[in-house]
Structure 1
Amino acid sequence: MPPIEKPPVFTPEMRENYTILIPGMLPIHFRMLEKILIRNGYKVKILTTIGRQIVDEGLKNVHNDTCYPALLVIGQLISALKSGAYDPHKTALLITQTGGGCRASNYLSLLRKALRQSGYGYVPVISLNFSNLEKQPGFTFTPGMLVQAMYAIIYGDMLMWLKNQCKPYEIIKGSTDAVVERWTDALCEQFESKAFLQVQKNYRAILDDFSAIQRHREKKIKVGIVGEIYMKYAPLGNNNLEQFLIDEGAEPVLSGLLDFCMYCIQNNIIDNDLYGKAFKHRAVNAFLLRYFQRWQNKMIRAIAKHGEFRAPTSFSELKHLVDGVIGTGAKMGEGWLLTSEMVEHIHSGVDNIVCTQPLFCLPNHIVAKGMMRKIKDRYPQANIVAVDYDPSATSVNQENRLKLMLSNARLAEEFGLSSEGEKAPAAPEGETQRETVTL
């Protein structure tokens, strides 16, 4: 067997004339992150393409038993190269990696194999990670860019959180999306200067604009969305789940990306406690965690003070909700965070939950589907459904499972029943269901 050639390198000279393609995941967040990369000298394009052709392209290059998000990401990138919209000889690809113990850590090698198979072996691939998996000399994520990215994530979390509290109730269709679009454009513009640092001013203006949206006060069923990070957020991955729930008369409830970032940092601290890594390593992560929590709490306080919308739960509270449910040593995939998010939804009065899972994703089946029985034993009113996504799964079957969950939710709301058909008891002593977080 001939040896595999070394992969092409993204050099500093390529920054000026190469376009970097990035697969989409969070529409609001990624638009701001795209702007930050452009401002720092990179030519970047976030891909928003959808359609069955992406799945088919992925199936040509990735085994159908491999991680479904990997199949979609690779299919979207290869499809873009074949579209004719980009010169493959002046194009690079970028993917993000956490370096965790799941198949996602193999995305880089899977993508390079797919590129060779498709005749694009000369296209360089950049891995954006903080686990020292690989570095490219022509791409540097500086501390300044990291700070800007943190602001983009917190702004994106806020816009997504408020959007889902307004869109299901809007009287004038499209008015919520118009506010989201206007503020995403405005924040992208602010990253051209230091205006994005005026967070309190921006928070007040954002909250005022969303509260000005004409909404009816009809009560709707709230449905929490949890799962593997790509399936949870990417419309391409979950068949536009948020919009489907809105069309079915429900309000989707989705936690922010910053929680996942802090989860990764918290896991580094846990590793130090379990395996005794260097104290300096722990101190740096503890500082980063406090820094991220501080900014998340500012956003939460701004929402709570405004009074028009429910505020999310802080990560400092979220991480303690799994005490007695699952150990924080369960860190593969979304790990204990996924279980914690399910419990947090129930504590906040969101008893209906959708677990979005790639088929055969062992880590997420354990911390999601594997924990459903334990959660339901503790909270009998919980109405949880696991929806598997893979190349052969039809949207009809997925939607039918979701409609059955919503039907059970409406029955429970009408007759006060649990998901098992029994009278739903009150929350365990000392545990109250909250609509807003107390800070």
Structure 2
Amino acid sequence: MVVIGRPYNSADPGANLNIHKKLIDLGVKPIPLDMLPMMEEMEADEDLKDMYWGYGQKILKAAKLTKNHDNFYGIYITNFGCGPDSFITHFFKDILKGKPFLQLEIDEHSADAGVVTRLEAFLDSIKNARNRTKTLKRKSAKYSTHGKGRKIYIPPMCDHAFTLSSAFRACGVEAEVMDESDDTTVYWGRKFTTGKECYPCILTTGDMLKTIKKEDFDPEKSAFFMPSGSGPCRFGQYHRFHRLVLDEMGFDNVPIYAPNQDHRFYNELNILGSKFSRLAWRSVVATDLIIKMLHETRPFEIKTGETDEVYRDALERISRSIEKDGEDLFDVLNGIIDKFLAIKKKDEKRPIVGVVGEIYIRSNRFSNDELIRKIESFGGQVWLAPFAEWISYVNYIHRMKNIRLDNMKNMLHFFLTEYIQKKDEHRIEEIFKNHLRYGAEPVIKSIIKKASPYIHVSFEGEAILSVGKSIDFLDKGVSGVVNAMPFTCMPGTISGALMKLVQKKYDTPIINVAYDGQGTTNITTRLEAFMYQVKEHFQKASEA
């Protein structure tokens, strides 16, 4: 029996209820993962190359060795709520396909009797098991080699998806945003997941399955867009999991276009043509700014629904402009400003609430159960952390890495990319700056600096942005902050803990809200209580 897992689970007799001794008592030899032969000599293949967690690689290597030895059987020990294992388990199972294994999930409630019973049952089950010992190599279509001429389906994460699809079309690639997430999305997403994955993975899986089940879906002329990443967040594993699901459904001929958000990002985007990156960036910044105008105007509108109507028209106009290479984008944005300013508003003051957190949950209306509208209905106004912030952060992190590695070529590439993006961003912001109370977005370095007393820059991911942006909002006078995240989100759990320290220092209401799609009645009640505190804080600040 190969005992597979991280050392604090698999090698600690206190944590794993002395599983090694139990196996010996049952007449079986236990082999720890680190004692397996040829572990270090194994070459990275398709199953390992995108696995950025160190122990994730070891676990999957152990799965391959277990698969290829007739007398090896795996016992995979994990613990309740382990984020990486929620995905690694799927890949582990896929590698061992055809060979039984036992997974034990331990927590503080685990008991000796239950473990012994499961070990005995597992030993009985493998006595007559027929094993297919050869590991099958995956042969799925890749966008880089098979994608041209296909329609790309983009996840409906937020309204930026619509302007991004226009950038695809401007580069000669047919693109369509998938239907907005709904209860059917959740149904299909949960059917192919365990519930331990992050909520955005469940939704993106459900949206993809909902799309392939449409009558007009043509697998030979379709592809899915799902950006990748290099950790530590689980997001970078979504496209790998989606690949498993598509293959299981018989759609191994449908590629997934997954540009990696590291030094390869712009190279992989540019398989669509060199102008795509700039058009996509302009579309993101322009969409961020009309969203700010929406949130600045809607809470005060006299005619209900007028701001939403103007906003939808603005989104369509930006999309049309981007599709024509954005030649008239600045004229279009000036016209959009005029339409927003023409909306008649009430003369009243409202407390401002900053919304930060995991980018999918904070941006997606369905996943956060219309969080922003709820804050507005409870008497608040929202400042939402922009989508462009994440792209600027990715640029910054990889520029700094190239400086450390003294990689002059990549360093110059990122400097040039940042220079052009900042130039475009400032030009677009100039159109809006006199009409937004928040003002221009700060450089990403200042956000990181604000977070530095709480979290070090070397801890990469959204946690540092959530903390830094919260402090930026608080410095600009918000009356409260909502940190929205998926349930069990790893960066969200860390930022949520640090928010207590931020709240203590700034003496301003801050609430962590975790979404899992299981009902939001309790969340609505908590938000209502939070908004009561926000109004009290706003009142005291107004009287001071």
Give the TM interval when normalised to the shorter protein.
Answer: 0.7 to 0.9
Deviation string 1:153-206 (CA, Å, 9 cap, x unpaired) is: 11111111111101111111221122222222222222343554553x444333
Partner Cα separation in structure 1 for residue 472 and residue 265 of structure 2: 35
Instruction: Please say which of residues 94-103 and 66-75 is displaced more in the overlay.
Output: 94-103
1:235 aligns to what? 365
> 1:163-174 residue pairs with structure 2 within 5 A?
163-174=294-305
Corresponding residue for residue 485 of structure 2: 357
The residue type equivalent to 1:221 in the other structure is P
Question: Aligned partners of 2:436, 2:209: CA distance in 1, in Å?
Answer: 44
Q: 1:37-67 deviations in whole A, cap 9, x for unaligned?
A: 1232222210132222211211121221112
In structure 1, the residue matched to 2:93 is: none
Instruction: Choose the corresponding residue for 2:157, options 25, 33, 49.
Output: 25
Q: Is structure 2 residue 236 aligned with structure 1 residue 110?
A: no
Matches within 5 A, 1:270-349: 270-273=400-403, 275-304=404-433, 306-307=434-435, 309-315=437-443, 317-331=446-460, 333-349=461-477
Distance across 2 between alignment mates of 1:91 and 1:302 = 38
Q: How far, CA to CA, are the matches of 1:49 and 1:192 in structure 2?
A: 21
Structure 1 SS opposite 2:389: helix
Establish whether residue 222 from structure 1 lines up as the match of residue 222 from structure 2: no
**Secondary structure at 1:45's aligned position in 2?**
strand
Deviation at 1:344, TM superposition (A): 0.8
The 8 Å contact of residues 260 and 268 in structure 2, kept in 1 or not, is answered as no
Do the aligned partners of 2:171 and 2:272 also contact (CA within 8 Å) in 1?
A: no
Change in Cα spacing, 1:14 to 1:263, as seen in structure 2 (3 Å) is: closer
Match of 1:386 in 2: 512
Post-superposition Cα deviations, 1:302-346, rounded to whole Å, max 9, x if no partner, equal: 333x35654243225434322433322221x31321111100110
Go from structure 1 to structure 2 and tell me whether the alpha carbon gap of 1:294 and 1:11 turns closer, same or farther (over 3 Å shift): closer
Q: What is the CA–CA distance in structure 2 between the aligned matches of 1:59 and 1:125, rounded to whole Å?
A: 20
Distance 1:361 1:211 in 2: 39
Q: Who is 2:533 aligned against?
A: 408
Q: Residue 63 in 1 paired to residue 194 in 2?
A: yes
Q: Which amino acid aligns with 1:109?
A: R
Native 8 Å contact 1:161 1:255 kept in 2: no
The equivalent of 1:158 in structure 2 is: 289
Aligned residues: 410
Select between 45-54 and 318-327 the one with higher mean Cα deviation.
318-327
Determine which structure has greater relative contact order: mean sequence separation of CA pairs < 8 Å that are 6+ residues apart, divided by chain length: 1
SS in 2 for 1:191: helix
2:153 maps to a residue whose letter is L
Q: Does the 8 A contact of 1:228 with 1:364 survive in 2? A: yes
2:355–2:383 Cα contact (<8 Å) kept: yes
One-letter amino acid matched to 2:464:
W
Cα distance, 1:236 vs structure 2: 2.6
SS in 2 for 1:290: helix
User: Deviation digits for residues 85-119 of structure 1, max 9, x if unmatched?
Assistant: 42344322121123332211111210011112333
Q: CA deviation at 1:254?
A: 0.8
Question: How big is the shift at 1:26?
Answer: 1.8
Offset, 1:356: 0.9
Give 1:280 shift. Answer: 3.0
C-alpha distance in 1 between matches for 2:186 and 2:473: 32
- What is the one-letter code of the residue matched to 1:401? R
Residue 168 of structure 1 contacts residue 246 of structure 1 at CA under 8 Å; is this kept in 2? yes
Q: How far apart in 2 are the matches of 1:139 and 1:60?
A: 35
Q: What secondary structure is seen at the aligned counterpart in 2 of 1:86?
A: coil
The answer to whether residue 252 in structure 2 is matched with residue 121 in structure 1 is yes
Task: Give TM-score, length-normalised by structure 2.
Answer: 0.69
How far did 1:246 drift? 2.3
SS at match of 1:237: coil
Percent identity over the alignment? 20
Cα shift readout 1:349-382 (whole Å, capped 9, x = no counterpart): 113111111111122221x2121122123211x2
Find the counterpart in structure 2 of residue 399 from structure 1. Answer: 524
**Matched residue SS, 2:528:** helix
| Residue pair 1:345, 1:351 contacting (<8 A) in 2 also | no
Structure 2, unpaired ranges of 5+: 1-97, 99-134
Contact 2:173–2:272 (CA<8 Å) still a contact in 1?
A: no
Kept in 1, the 8 Å contact 2:351–2:479? The answer is no
Q: CA deviation at 1:416?
A: 5.2
Cα contact 1:10–1:124 (8 A) shared by 2 = yes
Q: Distance in 2 between matches of 1:158 and 1:308?
A: 9
Distance in 2, Cα, partners of 1:122 & 1:320: 46
Contact 1:387 1:398 in 2 (8 A): yes
Of 369, 376, 381, which aligns to 2:496?
369
Q: Secondary structure at 1:235's aligned position in 2? A: coil
| Alpha-carbon distance between aligned partners in 1 of 2:153 and 2:393, rounded to the nearest angstrom | 27
Larger radius of gyration: 2
CA shift in 2, pair 1:416/1:191, >3 Å: closer
Residue of structure 2 in register with 1:96 after alignment: 227
Distance 1:39 1:281 in 2: 27
Quick check: 260-269 or 124-133, which moved more? 124-133
CA contact (8 A) 1:89 1:123 kept: yes
Matched, 1:261 2:391: yes
Matched, 1:182 2:182: no
Structure 2: how far apart are the matches of 1:245 and 1:323? 29
1:301/1:349 Cα in 2 relative to 1: closer, same or farther (>3 Å)? same
Name which of structure 1's ranges 351-360 and 111-120 shifts more when overlaid on structure 2: 111-120
CA displacement at 1:214 relative to structure 2: 0.8
